[in-house]
Amino acid sequence: MLKPPILHTERLLLRPFLLEDASEVQRLAGDRDIAANTAVIPHPYEEGMAEEWIRTHRQSLEDGTAFNLAIILKDNVRFEPSDLIGAIGITIDTTNRIGELGFWIGKPYWNKGYCTEAAKEILKYGLDEIGLKSIHAFHLGRNPASGRVLQKIGMKYEDSFPNAIEKWGKMEDLIKYNMLCDVIKS
């Protein structure tokens, strides 16, 4: 079982999601540009989907298979749903102690370094506190901004997978980055 972490960076608070966050998750993740740049966020993001997603978090923590955190600007820390700017999490292969990083940032908060700041902190937590052996991440080939985030946090390019997934009726390339535990400790 994982304990839900609360992590702090210079400008951000990363905390577990609350059901009260659902309307803001739906508003931000419901933007077509957010869905277009991720492999798993649907569009349209229908009523009730955010609540359903947030309700899965407790079981994932209990199983030790994932944790997802709300990204909050510290300047706004009131623990209110309107403070939410994005989401970040790690899905865990418990057998092999390997994690997969995933994230999204609401469009009004793009290009401000928030994603890099949050990803760096959660990567450190996953490797140092949870004891994962490695953490990898994928991004769509047509979304190089996510690739730059992964490079900035020290992840290394590992492989490309042409036409690996279908998104909205079109085959998309996936690009994989990875970081081993020993890298972050050195």
How are strands ordered across the β-sheet holding 7-8?
7-8, 12-16, 66-73, 84-93, 98-105, 134-140, 170-180, 156-167
Predicted confidence (pLDDT) per residue in 145-165, tens digit? 999 999 999 999 999 999 999
Predicted confidence (pLDDT) per residue in 131-144, tens digit? 999 999 999 999 99
CATH code that applies to domain 7-185: 3.40.630.30
Arithmetic mean of pLDDT, 53-62:
94
Instruction: Look at residues 24, 28, 138 and name the one whose alpha carbon lies nearest to residue 78.
Output: 24
* Residue with the two structure tokens 């690996």: 164
Q: How much is the pTM?
A: 0.91
Arithmetic mean of pLDDT, 48-75:
93
Q: How many CB atoms lie within 10 A of CB 46?
A: 11
Asked whether residue 127 carries a pLDDT value surpassing 50, the answer given is yes
Q: Could you tell me the pLDDT band of residue 83, with boundaries at 50, 70 and 90? A: confident
What's the whole-number average pLDDT of the chain?
Answer: 91
154/79 Cα distance (integer angstroms)? 30
Question: DSSP code of 173?
Answer: E
Q: Where are the domains of the chain?
A: 7-185
